[in-house]
Amino acid sequence: MTRIAVAKGDGIGPEIMDAVLSVFSAAKVPLEYDFVDMGKWVFDKGYSNGMTPEAQQTIESLGILFKGPMETPKGKGVKSVNVTARKTWNTYANKRTFQTLHGVDTVFSKAGIPIDITIVRENIEDTYGGIEHMLTHDVALSRRFITRPGSMQVIKYAFEMAKKKGARRITCGHKANIMKITDGLFLEVFYEVAKDYPELKADDVIVDDLCMKLVSKPDLFDVVVLTNLQGDIVSDLCAGLVGGLGFAPSANIGDHISIFEAVHGTAPDIAGKNIANPTALLLSGIGMLRHLGLMESAAMIENALLFTLESGIHTGDFGDKAVPSVNTTQFTEAIIANFGKLP
């Protein structure tokens, strides 16, 4: 049995995490869980980084954190627990996969255009240092850090992952025409690493042009690597291509610790109503099972999920509006009932 740390999170976090863990349990996934204290209620207890020292210790000793979305209390001086976690454990690569899912209608699925895009977003640097201040009463200044080693580790990860995945193309998205020094450095490192991967077609596209191309010809893209802020924005755009935030899984990969979570946030508007879509977190969980080498469990759950989506069962946020939607519990039960079925 492998032990992992689990934090249910805030908002819809507990509902969708319970849904995913009940699917895992029904599939007899060989995992044991250490539930750790992280999130808004931990901030409220007075822990300024949103996690208890025990939680931090557990996560560091187990190496894997499976987490629900977390809310950062509003106000100055409080840092997002999500950002703190990525920084504390140097999970430098944020891998987000966006794939056509049969049964999830989009303009592209209706047109028969298949999408399979993996975004690798640098996860530590850029403007996320949160170093900003007022220069004068009327002038605000933000600093942006891009380093060679920081760029190197995420770009190497992206190329290695692309090679393992059998990708044809790897693209660097950037704005080096304007930010010649910072994005220029990221782009320079990209082509330096590309030399070691002659089997991959490596190219670059300026980020605004990339957005236009992604929404018009998404099937031309395979793996795309970007700096932190641009990667954040482009990945929400890609979530829209495949049906929305309910379908976007994510993995934060570091050398010692990896964090698996959905791309979406706490969705406070629908929290506590048992209507949230657990698919993004379930897809993140499936990615985690593969990361841990639990290929059979991953395949069984993935097949059941895809079968369920294909058969038209859907929560309120997607699917054929003419077909009544089901709630989170019913959606979860449908997946479990479909174990053994193939999409």
Map residues 74-113 to x or -, x wherever contact with ligand ATP holds by CB under 6 A. ----------------------------------------
- Which of 129, 265, 316, 343: binder of Mg ion (CB under 5 A)? 265
Question: Residue 167 CB: number of other CB atoms within 10 A?
Answer: 20
What does 246 bind: Mg ion, ligand ATP, none (CB cut-off 5 to 8 Å by kind)? ligand ATP
Site for ligand ATP in 201-260 (CB under 6 A): 245-246
The nearest distance, CB 263 to Mg ion, in angstroms, is 9
265 binds ligand ATP (CB under 6 A): yes
Stretch that binds ligand ATP, among 26-34, 117-125, 151-159, 261-269 (CB under 6 A): 261-269
Closest CA to 171 of 124, 207, 127, 144: 207
DSSP 218: G
DSSP 113: -
Q: Cα separation of 247 and 260, whole Å? A: 14
What does 50 bind: Mg ion, ligand ATP, none (CB cut-off 5 to 8 Å by kind)? none
Q: Cα separation of 311 and 103, whole Å? A: 7
- Which of 112, 135, 149, 269: binder of ligand ATP (CB under 6 A)? 269
153-to-86, 92, 125, 258, 271 alpha-carbon distances in Å: 14, 7, 12, 15, 37
The nearest distance, CB 71 to Mg ion, in angstroms, is 10
The nearest distance, CB 266 to ligand ATP, in angstroms, is 4
Map residues 8-47 to x or -, x wherever contact with ligand ATP holds by CB under 6 A. ----x-----------------------------------
| Minimum CB distance to ligand ATP smaller for 184 or for 240 | 240
240 binds Mg ion (CB under 5 A): no
What does 122 bind: ligand ATP, Mg ion, none (CB cut-off 5 to 8 Å by kind)? none
| Minimum CB distance to Mg ion smaller for 129 or for 265 | 265
Report the sign of the C-alpha dihedral through residues 156, 161, 162, 166, in that order.
positive
| Minimum CB distance to ligand ATP smaller for 245 or for 299 | 245
User: Alpha-carbon Rg of the chain, whole angstroms?
Assistant: 20
**Contact in structure between 190 and 203 (CB atoms under 8 Å):** no
184-to-56, 129, 194, 303 alpha-carbon distances in Å: 36, 19, 15, 42
67 binds ligand ATP (CB under 6 A): no
- Which of 5, 93, 267, 306: binder of ligand ATP (CB under 6 A)? 267
What does 229 bind: ligand ATP, Mg ion, none (CB cut-off 5 to 8 Å by kind)? none
Q: Cα separation of 314 and 305, whole Å? A: 11
One-letter amino acid for residue 237 of the chain:
L
What does 269 bind: ligand ATP, Mg ion, none (CB cut-off 5 to 8 Å by kind)? ligand ATP
**Contact in structure between 272 and 77 (CB atoms under 8 Å):** no
What does 266 bind: ligand ATP, Mg ion, none (CB cut-off 5 to 8 Å by kind)? ligand ATP
The set of residues, in sequence order, having a beta carbon less than 8 Å from that of 274 and lying 6+ positions away, is: 15, 327, 328, 329
**Contact in structure between 38 and 81 (CB atoms under 8 Å):** yes
Instruction: Report the residue closest to ligand ATP, judged by CB.
Output: 265
User: How open is the CA angle 143-224-309, to the nearest 5 degrees?
Assistant: 120
What does 144 bind: ligand ATP, Mg ion, none (CB cut-off 5 to 8 Å by kind)? none
Binding residues (CB under 6 A) for ligand ATP: these are: 12, 69, 71, 245-246, 264-270, 276-277, 280, 317
